[in-house]
């Protein structure tokens, strides 16, 4: 019975392309990511495309430019994109959790560039010898326009679940992804 449930579960997960290993992010962000699809995020190097792949390490110097985000939008929907580092200033002692790296709202469909920037893209800049940091991208479907949202002045101590609650973004992102990097 257990085995059968397990097999069915695996089959469903595979068919939806769901991610399973979130490396502690569910606990650390207080989010249920079990039904969340993998968001396509790519950093472009010199003639090289680097794909963000669920916790795979990417060198710090390869993640300094704003990445390309691609997804299949629902027709007529607006989206919010959030990038945070829960490991600020270190995963061992994350007293500045979560550090807000990027926040865009009112993205019409998948046209990221046409969205409204609330907090501009700030590339990964982990302190030296603070170990690996997880950098997480989350995409949310909005239930209404967020054009009246105020600027967020401080990147430190952002709380994605509070932001979701305050702005009607539902219980989970529709898609997410993350990479890890460190400063040697």
Ligand X SMILES: *[C@@H]1O[C@H](CO)[C@@H](O)[C@H](O)[C@H]1NC(C)=O
Per CB under 6 A, 70 contacts ligand X: no
Q: Which is nearer to ligand X, 17 or 76 (CB)?
A: 76
For ligand X, the binding residue among 23, 28, 53, 106 (CB under 6 A) is: 106
Nearest residue (CB) to ligand X, 127 versus 168: 168
In the list 145, 154, 161, 171, the residue contacting ligand X (rule: CB under 6 A) is: 145
Nearer to ligand X, 88 or 105 (CB): 105
Neighbours of 127 (CB within 10 A): 12
User: Around Cβ 71, how many Cβ atoms within 10 Å?
Assistant: 19
> Is position 76 an interface residue for ligand X (rule: CB under 6 A)?
yes
Q: How far is the CB of 95 from ligand X (least distance, A)?
A: 36
Closer to ligand X by Cβ: residue 65 or 111 = 111
CB under 6 A: which stretch of 15-23, 73-81, 92-100, 128-136 binds ligand X?
A: 73-81
CA dihedral 116, 118, 122, 123 (to 10 degrees): -50
Judge contact between 156 and 112, C-beta under 8 A.
no
Ranges of H-type helices in 113-172: 160-166
Among 40, 78, 124, 177, binds ligand X (CB under 6 A): 78
Report the alpha-carbon distance of residue 96 to residue 110 in Å, rounded.
31
Q: Residues 74-97, buried b or exposed e (16+ Cβ, 10 A)?
A: eeeebbbbbbbbbbbbbbeebebb
34 in contact with ligand X (CB under 6 A): no
User: Applying CB under 6 A, which residues contact ligand X?
Assistant: 76-78, 106, 108, 142, 144-145, 147
């Amino acid at each position: 019975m257990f085995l059968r449930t397990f097999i069915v579960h695996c089959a469903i997960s595979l068919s939806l392309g769901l991610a399973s290993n979130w490396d502690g992010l569910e606990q650390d962000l207080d989010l249920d990511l079990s039904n969340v699809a993998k968001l396509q995020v790519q950093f472009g190097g010199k003639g090289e495309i680097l794909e963000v792949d669920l916790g795979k390490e990417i060198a710090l110097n390869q993640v300094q430019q704003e990445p390309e985000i691609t997804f299949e939008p629902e027709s007529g929907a607006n989206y919010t994109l959030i990038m945070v580092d829960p490991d600020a200033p270190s995963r061992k002692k994350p007293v500045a959790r979560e550090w807000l790296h990027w926040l865009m709202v009112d993205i019409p469909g998948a046209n990221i560039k046409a969205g409204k920037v609330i907090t501009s893209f700030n590339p990964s800049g982990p302190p030296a010898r603070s170990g690996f940091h997880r950098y997480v991208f989350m995409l949310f479907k909005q239930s209404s326009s967020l054009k009246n949202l105020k600027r967020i002045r401080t990147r430190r101590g952002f709380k994605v679940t509070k932001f979701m609650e305050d702005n009607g973004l539902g219980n989970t992102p529709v898609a997410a992804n993350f990479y890890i990097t460190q400063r040697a």
